[in-house]
Structure 1
Amino acid sequence: MHRVRSGHSPAGLERIVYSKLLQDAQADMDRCQTELRRLTDLSKEITRQQELLEAYMAGIRCIMSPIYTLPQEILGEIFKYVCCSGNIVGVNCIPDSYYPYDQRMPTLTISRVCIRWYNLVTTMPVLWSSFGTRDLNSSYTPFFFKLFLERSHLHPICHR
Structure 2
Amino acid sequence: MKKLLTTCIIAIILYACGNQSETKDSTNASDESKETTETTESGNPSYDPKRGEGKFENVELPASLDVTMAQSGKQIYEVKCASCHKLTDERLVGPGWKGVSNKHKPEWIMNFITNPDAMIDKDPELQAQLEICLVRMPNQSLGDDDARHLVEFMRQNDGVK
TM-score normalised over the length of structure 2: 0.37
Name the structure, 1 or 2, with higher relative contact order (CA <8 Å, separation 6+): 2
Which structure: larger Rg? 1
Instruction: Give the structure with the higher percent strand.
Output: 1
TM-score for the superposition, normalised by structure 1: 0.37
